[in-house]
Structure 1
Amino acid sequence: MSQPRPDAPAAQRLPAELLYSDELAHLAAHDQAPKPPGWNLSMPAVLDFIAGATVKGKRIRQKIVCAPSLIERALVTLASSRALLLVGEPGTAKSLLSELLAAAVCGTSTLTIQGSAATTEDQIKYGWNYALLLNDGPSPQALVPSPLYRAMQQGRIARFEEITRCPPEVQDSLLSILSERLLMVPELPAASTVFACPGFNLIATANTRDRGVNEMSAALKRRFAFETVFPIASHDSELALVISEVSRLLAQDRVPVTPNEPLMDVLVTTFRDLRQGVDREGGAGERLSSVLSTAEAVSVAHAVTLRGYYLRGDNGDATGLVEALAGAAVKDNPDDLKKLRRYIEHRAAKRNGEHWAAFHAARQALPQ
Structure 2
Amino acid sequence: MAKQQVIRLSAEQRYSKELEKLIKADSENNKPEGWVLSPKSVRQFILGNDRLGISRKFFGDDPLVDRSIVSLLGKQGLMLVGQPGTAKSMLSELLAAAISGDSNLTIQGTAGTSEDHIRYSWNYALLLAEGPTERALVGSQIYQGMKQGKIVRFEEITRCPPEIQDILVSIMSEKQMMIPEMGANAIISAKPGFNIIGTANLQDRGVHEMSAALKRRFNFETVNPINNKDFEIELIQRQLEQELGELKTQIVIPVDVIELLVTAFQELRQGQTQDGANIKTPDAVMSTAEAVNIAYASALDAYYFSDGTLNAGQIAKQLIGVVLKDNADDIKRIQFYMDNVVRERAKKSDTWHSFYQVSKTFWK
Structure 1 and Structure 2 fold alike (TM over 0.5):
yes
Counterpart contact for 1:47–1:68, Cα < 8 Å: no
1:164-188 Cα distance to aligned partner (Å, 9 max, x none): 0000010011111100000111112
SS in 2 for 1:59: coil
Q: 1:173, 1:156 → 2: CA distance?
A: 19
- Equivalent residue, structure 2, for 1:176: 170
Query: Aligned equivalents of 2:288 and 2:12: distance in 1?
Result: 23
Aligned partners of 1:250 and 1:256 also within 8 Å: no
Q: How does 1:37-186 map to 2 (within 5 A)?
A: 37-55=33-51, 58-186=52-180
**Aligned-partner SS, 2:221:** strand
Deviation at 1:354, TM superposition (A): 2.1
Match in the other structure for 1:226: 220
For structure 1, the residue ranges without an aligned partner over 5 or more in a row are 1-5
Alpha-carbon offset, residue 198 of structure 1: 0.7
1:18 maps to: 13
Classify 1:357/1:9 alpha carbon distance in 2 versus 1 (closer, same or farther; 3 Å): farther
CA shift for structure 1 position 306: 1.1
Query: Which residue pairs with 2:231 in the alignment?
Result: 237
CA 1:151–1:208 in 2, change beyond 3 Å: closer, same or farther? same
Structure 1 residue 125, shift from structure 2 partner: 1.1
Q: CA RMSD in A?
A: 1.9
Partner of 1:274: 268
SS in structure 2 opposite 1:160? strand
User: Structure 1 pair 304/8, CA: closer, same or farther in 2 (3 Å)?
Assistant: farther
Secondary structure of the residue aligned to 1:54 is coil
Normalised to the residue count of structure 2, the TM-score between the two structures is 0.94
CA contact (8 A) 1:250 1:257 kept: no
The CA distance in 1 between the partners of 2:294 and 2:212, in whole Å, is 39
Q: Return 354-363 or 182-191, whichever deviates more.
A: 182-191
Tell me how far apart the structure 2 counterparts of residues 258 and 172 of structure 1 sit (CA, whole Å). Answer: 51
- On the 8 A contact 2:149/2:194 being kept in 1, the answer is yes
Matching residue of 1:27: 22
Which amino acid in 2 is paired with 1:355? T
**Deviation of residue 279 (structure 1)?**
1.7
- Work out which of the residue numbers 206, 209, 226 in structure 1 matches 2:203: 209
Mapped partners of 2:343, 2:54: distance in 1: 41
Q: Is the 8 A contact 2:169 2:213 kept in 1?
A: yes
What TM-score does the superposition give when structure 1 sets the normalisation length? Answer: 0.93
Q: Deviations over 1:189-226 (max 9, x none)?
A: 46421111011110000001111101111111111111
Separation in 2, partners of 1:253, 1:18: 22
Aligned mates of 2:118, 2:252 — CA distance in 1? 43
For residues 252 and 146 of structure 1, the distance between their equivalents in structure 2, rounded to whole angstroms, comes to 39
Mapped partners of 1:8, 1:26: distance in 2: 24
Percent identity, please.
45
- Structure 2: any 5+ residue segments left out of the alignment? none
Contact 2:271 2:280 (8 Å CA) reproduced = yes
Alpha-carbon separation, structure 2, partners of 1:64 and 1:293: 15
Q: Is the 8 A contact 1:120 1:170 kept in 2?
A: yes
| Offset of residue 252 of structure 1 | 6.4
Residues of 1 paired with 2:2 and 2:250: CA distance? 16
- Note the C-alpha offset of 1:283: 2.9
Distance between the aligned counterparts of 2:135 and 2:3, measured in 1? 37
Show CA shifts across 1:117-170 (max 9, x none).
011110111111122122222111111111111111111100000000000010
Q: Secondary structure at the match of 2:304?
A: helix
Distance of aligned partners of 1:313 and 1:145 in 2 relative to their CA distance in 1, 3 Å threshold: farther
Instruction: Tell me which moved more, 27-36 or 171-180.
Output: 27-36
Instruction: Tell me by how many angstroms 1:67 deviates.
Output: 1.6
Q: Deviations over 1:55-109 (max 9, x none)?
A: 3xx3221111122111111111101000110000011000000001111111111
1:323 aligns with 2:317: yes
- In the other structure, the counterpart of 1:353 is 349
**What stretches of structure 1 move > 4 A for 4+ residues in a row?**
6-9, 252-255
**SS in structure 1 at match of 2:50:** strand
Q: How does 1:356-367 map to 2 (within 5 A)?
A: 356-367=352-363
Taking the aligned partners of 2:23 and 2:181, their CA distance within structure 1 comes to: 41
* Distance in 1, Cα, partners of 2:252 & 2:18: 25
Relative to structure 1, is the Cα distance of residues 247 and 258 closer, same or farther in structure 2, using a 3 angstrom cutoff? Answer: farther
Quote the Cα distance in structure 2 between the aligned partners of 1:321 and 1:8: 35
CA drift of 1:336 comes to: 1.3
Tell me the SS of whatever aligns to 1:225: strand
